[in-house]
Chain A
Amino acid sequence: MLEQLRRWFGDRLPIAEIVAYFSKKTVPQHKHSFWYYFGGLTLFFFVVQIVSGILLSLYYKPSPEAAHKSILEIMNRVPYGWLVRSIHSWSSNLMIGCLFIHMFSAFLMKAYRKPRELMWMTGVLLLFLTLGFGFTGYLLPWDTMAYFATLIGTEVPKTLPIIGDWGVSLLKGEDEIGGETLARMYSIHIIILPLITLVVVSYHVALNQVFGSSVPLGTIEKKAPIPFFPNFIYRDIGSWVIGFTALICLSTVFPWGLGEKADPLASAPFGIKPEWYFLPLYQSLKIAPSTVFSLSGELIINLLVGAGSLLWFLVPFIDPRASRGQKTPVFTALGVVLILYIIITIIFAFIT
């Protein structure tokens, strides 16, 4: 019976061929192989986000009157609601953390070299999509911190020439943060971004299956590469077990809190800060002078971030020497400086 069933599916779904392909595909083994696991971990936390997000959407009510109360209901009345919400919040942070590690390790290992340019570019696209998830999801609990962080975030594009005001109204959906903003953020968070992300992430992962993992320039592979299936996938699952354990520990030991319901008339509370992954931008906006050569400080920061993001996206074409197998220490130094800037601004934002 079982054999018949296996044969029936085998005739209609080429499982054997797929398994054979993955068994033939190999993953290099060297002293930097450890960093390969962060891509899989990011994907794992993304799946956790989808599952926990679907569960939250069963009870969440996206309106300024009901949003905060519905989160309170989820946390206090729905069985394990506090855990699901805590998992969703912690997993988003862990996902972004793993994504940063994955991206910077890929950058420092020059994994964007030919023929992996599109892998790098889809990866950078996924970074922006993930930050978009973080930003749009932040308003949904409708607490004070969420309200002011979104207020600041939606005002950021206003200094951009021509499209600035339009960009702000597009994000807000009305003149101030209110019901329309919440509806927009919710729609972007649960429909638009997931759809785009699923397409991009599928392409990113498919490219990885075709081209395999990149070996850093000058790295000697002392050990033989291992088959992707089952050897590497088992190790990957091992990293997911560790990630899941860390997630459950964080979610239960430090359950995610909820602030007071947002009051649009209240002054911004003392110590208001965005999530840690937006702190470099926050701190840059804070230290920027109000005007530089008659240009506003915000405009300069916006232009710098925009230009920097574009250059980051196009790195494979800016560093063609790496594709020719030559060492490019300037780009390594650039990556290190960027990592240091991110760490230092996050620390400064926390202590000031």
Chain B
Amino acid sequence: MKLTVPPHKPRRDFLSTALGIWGLLAVVPVLNVLVRYITPPKGTPTTRQSLEVGLVDDIPRGTAKIVRFDREPVIIVHTSSGQFKAFFARCTHLGCVVKFQSEGAQGFHCNCHGSDFDLNGKNLSGPAPKPLTALKVTVQQASLIVSTTEV
């Protein structure tokens, strides 16, 4: 009896197409898992609304202090005129921590790209696009309290 050669090609075409479709379908969930895995989980939202940063005497006139308010650095300034002011200390350009300028016209300077801010946090020069975010400072029994209630 003569054996007939099975028609391999249609079977291979079917297999190639099936594997191709499986590959395309598998890529989506695999990429989904991958992208979601490498995207870091959101940090715990800030619950703290105020922070005691020390005594009034800790910050002499014309100086500043940087403290951590949850994850963010906050700069508290005791101005020459005796006022206390507080701002989130990250430069609104690319996030470097700003420095208090006690000499000359008082204000804040970012050493990273040279942005300047006045004592009210307003951006004066350099690439910073926005003012610094101001915070409320209150004095309670000689203690300085900074709160997230924006000024």
Contacts and interface: CB of A to CB of B under 8 A. Distances in A.
Interface in A278-323: 282, 285-286, 288-291, 296-298
Contacts of A266: 66, 97
Contacts of B113: 152, 282, 285-286
Contacts of B6: none
Q: 3 closest Cβ contacts across the A-B interface?
A: A267-B99, A268-B96, A155-B94
B111 A265 contact: no
Given A180-B40, A265-B67, 6 more contacts: A152-B95, A173-B40, A270-B111, A271-B111, A285-B94, A291-B129
Interface of B: 38-40, 43, 66-68, 71-73, 89, 93-100, 110-114, 123, 126-129
Contacts of A155: 94-95
A285 B127 contact: yes
Contact of A268 (B38, B68, B99, B127): B99
Contacts, number: 82
Interface majority SS on B: helix, strand, loop or mixed?
loop
Contacts of B128: 290
A290 B39 CA distance: 29
A60 interface: no
A171 to B, nearest CB: 10
Q: How many residues of A sit at the interface, in one of the four size bands?
A: 20 to 34
Nearest to A159: B129
Contact of A290 (B38, B98, B100, B127): B127
A148 interface: yes
Most buried by B among A176, A268, A285: A268
A176 B40 CA distance: 12
A151 interface: yes
A289 B96 contact: no
Interface in A244-277: 264-272
B111 A272 contact: yes
B96 A152 contact: yes
Given A174-B43, A175-B43, A298 B94 contact: yes
A54 B61 CA distance: 52
Contacts of A288: 127
Interface string A169-186: 110111110001000000
